[in-house]
Amino acid sequence: MNQPLLRKRDPACDRVRGNPVTSPVAPSFLAFFCAAWLCLLAVFSTATAADKKPTPPTPIAVTDVKPHVEWLADPARRGRSGDSARKSANYLRDHFRRLKLRPLFGESYFQALPGRKDEKQQPRTIGQNVGAVLPGRRSDEIVILSAHYDHLGVRKNTVYPGADDNASGVALMLEIARQLATRKTPPDRTIAFVGFDLEERLLWGSRWFTAHPPWPLERVKLFITADMVGRSLGNLPLPTVFCLGSEHAPQLRTVLDRVGSPDGLEVARLGADLIGTRSDYGPFRDRKVPFLFFSTGEHPDYHTPRDTPEKVDYTKLARISNLVLAVLTEVADGRADPAWTDQVQLGLDEPRALYRITSLMMEEERQQELTDLQKLLISTTRNKCRQILDAGKITADDRKWLVRASGLLLFSVF
């Protein structure tokens, strides 16, 4: 992804290039010509390999994801909170049913979420997770794809539609479910699709789920959640989707490398400790379940009535859906065996991603939308990343610096 790094000199080419100049024997014209040709070929193949990352097939289209966002973020859904979230929960269940996916919670697609007890000391139901299962050849290993479907409801007579947060993630999940459910062959591992409720209320839906899972969580090989995947960090025109969590499972980094990304999309891999617990991956991370969190980041319409469907970038959402489908399929079909590690291992992925993003932000047309403080933060972070990349290694102190700077830069400034 990081162009300057990928353009590092190729040692084979250097050797070839060195011959005509340093050899004490004067080379013939033919030998020189061959050497030059080989060198050119080496340069060309390096550049081609670097520029042409694998591109996953793109079966999910704009016309697939858009109707879900428009339906879920319609004012008639009343911002999907509390009782008004019921219709949206049924929408998810009906979609799962049509795909002939099995209920996840025994006979039911719903998992009731209890709140405080009422005056008669009876527990009240304040929400419900919605889940379905696509059985794999192995029922003892599970992969979960999730997105929270709740939002902030109606406040002071104003509907908070939550198109990006998180109708976009739900659309992604529903269309991936469709792709996988209509495949001719079943997956190797069992796949569960979960729409969490009450994410906006301290992640209550996913906390309850992890405390009362349908199977022991040790059997979950990978948990993926998509939250806000239809806009762009700080409204800047960035082609970026952030991917957090691969630092705790090296195999997931390999999967991401292998899968590449759809044309026009760039994947920025960061450690989840850069942003703390911001979505439903939190309770799974706490239980050491390998996870990936996909998000395009916060923007000025975040948690406002302005988070509306027409502002969603549906092309980007479709691209991210195809990326997540490819990643999920790799693990569900048993081509990777993610295992948790406590030690954060990201190598140069993080400075490479941050260097790329900060460089994009500093391009002229994006600069106009930034304040002086933002510009300073961005250029300082960019310089630090360049330093780390030039050194070819990241120290513990470097990483501490990046964690602090990114916290400030990525999720506070915007």
CA–CA separation, 379 and 276 (whole Å): 23
Nearer to Zn ion, 190 or 232 (CB): 232
| Smallest distance, Zn ion to C-beta of residue 120, A | 33
For residues 325 and 178, what is the distance between their CA atoms, to the nearest angstrom? Answer: 10
Size, binding site for Zn ion by CB under 5 A: 1
Q: Which is nearer to Zn ion, 153 or 262 (CB)?
A: 153
Beta bridge partners of 147: 195
Q: CA torsion angle for 325, 326, 332, 334 (degrees, to 10)?
A: 180
Instruction: Quote the distance between the C-alpha of residue 117 and its chain's center.
Output: 37
Query: Of 378, 398, 375, 376, nearest to 387 (Cα)?
Result: 398
Beta-strand relationship, 123-134 and 102-103: antiparallel
CB 413 within 8 A of CB 377: yes
CB closer to Zn ion out of 143 and 194: 194
Q: Judged by CB, which is closer to Zn ion: 153, or 239?
A: 153
Q: Tell me whether residue 278 or residue 366 sits nearer to Zn ion (CB atom).
A: 278
Q: Is 165 in the site for Zn ion (CB under 5 A)?
A: yes
Q: Is 197 in the site for Zn ion (CB under 5 A)?
A: no
Beta carbon nearer to Zn ion, 175 or 200: 200
Residues 107-136 that bind Zn ion (CB under 5 A): none
Least separation, in Å, of the C-beta of 161 and Zn ion? 12
- Contact at 8 Å (CB) between 98 and 177? no
Residue 102 or 201: the one with the smaller Cβ distance to Zn ion is: 201
Which of the stretches 35-43, 136-144, 157-165, 255-263 binds Zn ion when contact is defined by CB under 5 A?
157-165
**Distance between CA atoms of 122 and 139, rounded to whole angstroms?**
36
Q: Which stretch binds Zn ion (CB under 5 A): 11-19, 165-173, 203-211, 405-413?
A: 165-173
- Looking at 164-172, 177-185, 320-328, 389-397, which segment touches Zn ion (CB under 5 A)? 164-172
Of 16-24, 91-99, 161-169, 229-237, which part binds Zn ion (CB under 5 A)? 161-169
User: Residue 172 or residue 220: which is nearer to Zn ion going by CB?
Assistant: 172
Asked if residues 238 and 319 have their Cβ atoms less than 8 Å apart, the reply is no
**Should residue 298 be labelled a site residue for Zn ion when binding is judged by CB under 5 A?**
no
Give the nearest distance from C-beta 225 to Zn ion in angstroms: 12
Site string for Zn ion, 337-376 (x = CB under 5 A): ----------------------------------------
Site string for Zn ion, 25-64 (x = CB under 5 A): ----------------------------------------
Is residue 29 classed exposed, middle or buried when 0-12, 13-18 and 19+ CB atoms within 10 A define those classes?
A: exposed
Nearer Cβ to Zn ion (304/374):
304
Q: How far is the CB of 297 from Zn ion (least distance, A)?
A: 12
In the complex, minimum distance from the CB of residue 201 to Zn ion, in angstroms, rounded to a whole number: 10
Q: Hey, what amino acid is at 134?
A: L
Nearer to Zn ion, 17 or 299 (CB): 299
Q: Least Å distance between CB 286 and Zn ion? A: 20
Sign of the torsion angle spanned by Cα atoms 21, 23, 28, 30: negative
Contact segment (CB under 5 A) with Zn ion among 23-31, 78-86, 158-166, 364-372 equals 158-166
* 136-144, 163-171, 177-185, 273-281 -> range binding Zn ion (CB under 5 A): 163-171
Residues in touch with Zn ion (CB under 5 A): 165
